[in-house]
Homo-oligomer: A and B are copies of this chain.
Amino acid sequence: MSKFSILSLVLFFAVFVGCNKKDSKSGGAFSSSVAERTYVAPGEHDEFYAFLSGGFSGQMSVYGLPSGRLLKVIPVFSQDAEKGWGYNEETKPMLNTSFGFVPWDDSHHPDLSQTNGELDGRWAFINGNNTPRVARVSLETFETEEILEIPFTAGNHASTFVTENTEYLVGATRFSIPINDEDMSIEEYKSNFKGAISFVSIDQEHGHMDLAFQIHTPGYNFDLSHPGRGKSHGWFFFTTYNTEEAHTLLEVNASQNDKDYIVAVNWKKAEEYIKEGKFTVKKAEYAHNLYDEETHTAVSTMKNEVKVLDSNLPGLMYLLPTPKSPHGCDVDPSGEYIVGNGKLAADLTVHSFDKMLKAIEAKKFVGESYGIPILDYDEVVAGVVKQPGLGPLHTEFDGKGNAYTTFFISSEVVKWKLGTWEVVDRQPTFYSPGHLMIPGGNSQKPFGKYLIAMNKITKDRYLPTGPEMNHSAQLFDISGEKMELLSDFPTIGEPHYAAGIPSEKITGKSKKIYNISDNKHPYATTAANQARVERKGNDVHIYMTMIRSNFSPDNIEGIRLGDTVYFHVTNLEQDFDVPHGFSMMGANNAEILVMPGQTETLVWTPKKAGVWPFYCTDFCSALHQEMQGYIRVSPQGSNVPLAWSLGEPVKTAEQHR
């Protein structure tokens, strides 16, 4: 659709929705009704949580639906000065990788834990696409608790989708590479560059992630994936593009084949092979970063080997030909239909799981690729949606037999029927939607009330903000026969994907505070009268407490240039939503923001002699402005004794006794 057509549609739509249409339910103006349906009155709560990836922000954003309000940005893969994430000593190890400290990633696809194919509200997962990683976020604390690097992989795009009992989440290579880091010319790509599909197991008690095994594959670009469910539980499906194995000017050279593949992986079979020892162990260094709940600190350990299966092991993997450079790989709630969103294809292709099993049984193969059987397209296709739009990217389901697909080029969401493949509705989006989300859409039980389209191009949708505009989401009501556009809301970074869940699956277990008596941080100070300062050579450890509205200690002397000062700051509050912040003038380390009952550490290397203030950075009470202190830094060689104040003149350790 041309820009002109898009603009016409905007104008048409604005007039149509704003002025004419009546809402039969309330008798009022349609716009009033729409306004009401997105409005969450002060003090009332949204119906759904929506977890949107941050894309190039590297984080995960939490929105409420239907209001579109940004409830929180959860720091995951990127440093976040707001929360001290990746700056304080407790969280720095979370951003460690085999490449060292990596301050950023490109987060792509959140998914939510499931039990028996239904959302269970335990964890959210999200992948890092650039430095290949996957992360787990607790839905009790809304904090990132674990990050695992994925070896032998470049561009971990087809991630983090989970199986229906959260047995595994997956990762897969987007940019195939010479998998043993060999010094190989890029010109030798074909046949030599390889991909990897990773199965990461999830410990059901704590959620801990472990790289169970990898399958090393031909050098396709893996794009997206979805688990089988119900009858197809035990299988996982991945879209590929660049089955041409091109390595330059991919926009042309990877768009040659009429069909690429959906790769079907039988992971139950993979488990058997692993059990039978039919794997090789490959050496690879990759980081596993785990937040320890006991000590409120993170530990990064380096792992060094992976169990690898060959992709041509019998029965492990099959290729379903799918037109053309498919992006989304979406499995319907029944587990029968696998939608290949061929972004350059005229039609939308839907494969049948039952037909696939039969075709495998009957060996309906049309060839093989690097030893992997290629199934006969005609034997596996369930149907096609004929010319539904241009540039399909992603399909979700409402649990009522309908599917919804985004079309990037024709800028629309199209609703169609599973089984009959007929288009039953289409609504324009503004502009160029990438992905869409229906809460529970990747499960056996979607909640088909709302749909959000995540649009890639914003242009005139909001007040201008210079050359850069926030990306735009659009909320649709899909409870009726026709989709209704309710609202536009701007988003953080670039939401590539989202996962939604009814709020009641989370709210009851949301953690309010950290119990101070459970604080096992090695430098915790759990009562103000235990606050103190200790020197160990050139390291000075300050055991500090915060409570409305003072620091203990609040005056410190006897620091010398050349010292490294560790502020170990414990928030003694035991009241919900009373964090304290701590900042130190000129610190090269951002600030820290400490939740009730927690301890965090800020390291400061004074640059100049003098007296420097510190203060609370989170307005905590009517006397927050008074929550401050001073630290005196003397020149090197000074004999000012170490001394501190607990609301009185400074005293030495001896005098404090």
Contact = CB atoms under 8 A, between A and B. Distances in A.
Nearest to A181: B610
A184 B611 contact: yes
A470 B67 CA distance: 15
B468 A579 contact: yes
B106 A617 contact: yes
Interface string A94-113: 00011111111010000000
A106 B507 contact: no
A615 B18 CA distance: 41
A130 B590 CA distance: 10
Nearest to A9: B43
B178 A610 contact: yes
A587 interface: yes
A130 B591 contact: yes
A626 B103 contact: no
A412 to B, nearest CB: 14
Interface string A455-476: 0111111111111111000100
Interface in A579-635: 579, 581, 583-591, 593, 595-596, 607-613, 615, 617-620, 622-623, 625-630, 632-635
A55 interface: yes
Contacts of A496: 619
A519 to B, nearest CB: 13
A618 B56 contact: yes
Interface stretch (A137-145, A203-211, A359-367, A370-378): A137-145
Given A42-B487, A182-B610, A485-B42, A463 B49 contact: yes
B248 A430 contact: no
B45 A462 contact: yes
B142 A510 contact: no
A247 interface: yes
Nearest to A82: B57
Given A81-B79, A154-B585, A510-B465, A611 B186 contact: yes
B467 A615 contact: no
B221 A625 contact: yes
Interface string A63-81: 0100011111100001111
Contact of A32 (B35, B254, B470): B35
Contacts of A212: none
B131 A64 contact: no
A375 B607 CA distance: 41
Contact of A255 (B242, B623, B629, B638): B623
B586 A187 contact: no
Nearest to A552: B249
Contacts of A635: 183
Nearest to A143: B466
Contact of A72 (B38, B470, B576, B579): B470
Interface stretch (A307-315, A346-354, A531-539, A641-649): A641-649
A654 to B, nearest CB: 17
B630 A45 contact: no
Contacts of A549: 251
